[in-house]
Structure 1
């Protein structure tokens, strides 16, 4: 794979994480840049590791990963999306001071993993074309780090405008991303 193809792949792999990060940023009480960096780092590391895992699995068990990746992503994103929507619909708009200042590590890690299932599937495909997985995974991780950091800060601005409804929108985005992943995979079958 050449540099342009690697950059395009990295950007494509980070777009769903960006959308989720906007919702995460909107659900927080004026997130600081430090929180955006933390969120970006968690997502970036996970998104950078999953293609390597997929690449390793591709050498061993490609049919199993490709057969279930879309169902795993759909389920995880759907459950997280429904949870966000429930919290967003759980009452009147809260005062800005009632919002959390950060998300838990585990919530971010599960969300990051859910949005990176497609990167794992890409890693499986990269095993078959003998691509340099370290360079590609590094590019995906860096792109995701940047996009998620920016997404949280964009969400910060949107959070002031939309209040609790941001969580509902963020939940809908997660469900839509999971549904799109499922639709694309079932449509290819």
Structure 2
């Protein structure tokens, strides 16, 4: 597979994470490039590891993974989206510690990164059957995702200033839409 083809695949794999990053950036009050970059590194790392895992699983489990990957991604994104919507509708708690809120946010971001990377794992499974340098492909997917997520958070922050408190609700809806699109594409055989 050519470098250009791998590059297109890498950016295609990062579109889910980009949409989530824009929604996440819209919920942040004061994101700065460093924070956006750290989130990009998290998503990029998970996205880079996923095709390697898929490639290692190989032929033996391919039919099982392909049958269920879209349902897993949909379920995770639906649950996370509903949680964000629920939190967006709640009034801030008086006694809530900033550290507790930050810890929950990091766990949620990790789960979101995993959910958006399941398709990359499926791509890795496909790479096991063709002549592809899996390390080059994984690196490109990770770098593309890092770039798109970092940019997405910074873009989302600008949008968040315009939509205010509704940003968390919008973020939850975006997660649900991304999960639904993944499910729809697989059920219709588009992915």
Fold-level similarity (TM above 0.5): yes
Q: 1:88–1:168: 8 Å Cα contact kept in structure 2?
A: yes
How far 1:112 sits from its partner (Å)? 0.3
Deviations 1:78-121 (A, max 9, x none): 000111111222249xxxxx9x7897332211110000111111
Matches within 5 A, 1:99-178: 104-178=105-179
Q: Number of residue pairs matched?
A: 183
Seen in structure 2, the aligned counterparts of structure 1 residues 3 and 103 have a Cα distance that, compared at 3 Å, is: farther
Q: Does 1:23 align with 2:23?
A: yes
Matches within 5 A, 1:50-61: 50-61=50-61
Q: Does 1:73 align with 2:73?
A: yes
Which structure 1 residue ranges, 4+ long, deviate > 3 Å from structure 2?
100-104
How far 1:33 sits from its partner (Å)? 0.9
Seen in structure 2, the aligned counterparts of structure 1 residues 28 and 102 have a Cα distance that, compared at 3 Å, is: farther
Q: What TM-score, normalized by structure 2, do the two folds share?
A: 0.90
2:86 aligns with 86
Q: What TM-score, normalized by structure 1, do the two folds share?
A: 0.91
Unaligned runs of 5+ in 2: 93-97
In 1, the alpha carbon distance for the partners of 2:71 and 2:29 equals 33
* SS of 1:188 mapped into structure 2: coil
* SS of 2:84 mapped into structure 1: helix
Seen in structure 2, the aligned counterparts of structure 1 residues 131 and 118 have a Cα distance that, compared at 3 Å, is: same
In 1, the alpha carbon distance for the partners of 2:141 and 2:110 equals 16
In 1, the alpha carbon distance for the partners of 2:103 and 2:147 equals 18
Root mean square deviation, CA, Å: 1.9
